Structure 1
Amino acid sequence: MEELSLEALERRRDELVRELERLREEEERIRKIYEKAKKLEDEVYEAMRNARDECELANLEIRYLRISGKRKLVEEKLRRVEMKVRGTQRELEEVERRISYLKPRPVRWVEEKP
């Protein structure tokens, strides 16, 4: 990260906070989709275990493979968003550290007694 002025760092911090909020909302949305897919996959797997008819088993197997593939895609998307969240958090911490370094600290004057 290049050297920036205090105002530029504060603007960057605001951008990062908004981006982090957006990413967390997206992560939550994807996590809900993932949980639904996982639950459906488990239900189909249980139905496969209880199936007695070969035709029914074949249909359930095809359905299971489709659902499993979709779940894996959603899982990969979730992993990418989680990585983006971690990266944005690290960058935000770095910007806040630089801001705290650049901000003038309040100075307390000590009066000498004669």
Structure 2
Amino acid sequence: MSDQPVNLVSVNTAPERAKKVIGTVIENVKDKYTIVHAGNSATIDGVKPLLLSIQPPPGILFCASMWTPEEQAEIQQIARETIPGIRTHAIPTGLQVQVGPDGVIKYLMERIDDIMKV
């Protein structure tokens, strides 16, 4: 377990939902990881300025499921170009609609160990 908190940003057009879902995941893994939800961008254009505004730089970016696969790829590319070495994860398109917030939390909980690996 690292003592250094990892800043996580989300790209989600529903910031309150992002905060709730990610907050629940962070709470569930707090015994293993120190993750801080450092910000959310509701637009693709806002991703780079958000990433650059956070110190220390975010270590993880989550793309929400309302973006198309093409948009998710663009968001992740922006993140990697802005912060080399950032870990990115795209929640499958449409997952929120199919399974709701609890399903998204379950999905992320099943993958958080892989996402956190450096």
- The interval holding the TM-score normalised by the smaller chain is under 0.3
- Which of these two proteins has the greater Rg computed from alpha carbons? 1
Q: Which structure shows the higher helix fraction?
A: 1
TM (norm. structure 2) is: 0.23
If asked which structure has higher relative contact order (CA below 8 Å, sep 6+), I would say: 1
